[in-house]
């Protein structure tokens, strides 16, 4: 088996958990959402993150106000606070998910199905790093 190059290891380290799972033919199954699914739609319409100085940042309340004005409706204060919190959590998880051994945020679930080959490749990446 040929040994991976330093560039290949660096490139693999840049992939997110989702990108690595999809690259290796795995499947991501999201947990069910019982209530408030419309808020997730709002979050993705608004954008889960915004451009900030050196990368991404969470959605600000000013951006929420501008988004509401553009849409022509107002959301409840608790919905605005929740959207802001979801943005902060999304950003934190997107950084955490770049680690090879990162588990899904909904712990205790068998929601991510990964083949033995993927697990072996992950172990090899850790070993060679």
Encode pLDDT of 16-44 as tens digits.
777 877 888 877 776 777 788 899 999 99
In a domain, 36, yes or no: yes
Task: Output the pLDDT for position 5.
Answer: 56
Mean pLDDT (the chain, rounded): 78
Q: Are 59 and 46 in contact (CB under 8 A)?
A: yes
In a domain, 127, yes or no: no
In a domain, 109, yes or no: no
In a domain, 43, yes or no: yes
Structure tokens of 120? 């072996």
- Residue 127 vs residues 21, 35, 95, 120, 121: alpha-carbon distances, Å: 19, 42, 22, 10, 10
- Please determine, for residue 60, whether its predicted confidence score (pLDDT) is greater than 90: yes
- Please determine, for residue 112, whether its predicted confidence score (pLDDT) is greater than 70: no
In a domain, 54, yes or no: yes
The pLDDT > 70 percentage for the chain reads 69
- Note down the domain range covering 93: 6-99
In a domain, 71, yes or no: yes
- Please determine, for residue 94, whether its predicted confidence score (pLDDT) is greater than 70: yes
Query: Domain total for the chain?
Result: 1
- Please determine, for residue 122, whether its predicted confidence score (pLDDT) is greater than 90: no
Task: Output the pLDDT for position 3.
Answer: 55
Span 57-75, average pLDDT: 95
Cα–Cα distance between 105 and 107 in angstroms, integer?
A: 6
Q: Does the predicted TM-score (pTM) go above 0.75?
A: no
In a domain, 112, yes or no: no
In a domain, 121, yes or no: no
């Amino acid at each position: 088996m040929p040994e991976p190059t330093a560039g290949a290891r660096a490139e693999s380290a840049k992939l997110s958990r989702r990108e690595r799972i999809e690259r290796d033919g795995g499947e991501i199954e999201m947990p069910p959402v019982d209530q408030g699914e419309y808020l997730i739609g709002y979050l993705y319409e608004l954008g889960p993150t915004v451009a900030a100085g050196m990368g991404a940042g969470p959605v600000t309340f000013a951006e929420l106000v501008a988004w509401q004005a553009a849409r022509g409706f107002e959301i409840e204060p608790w919905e605005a606070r929740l959207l802001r919190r979801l943005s902060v959590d999304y950003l934190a998880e997107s950084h955490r998910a770049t680690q090879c051994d990162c588990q899904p945020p909904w712990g205790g679930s068998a929601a991510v199905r990964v083949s033995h080959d993927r697990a072996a490749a992950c172990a090899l990446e850790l070993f060679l790093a």
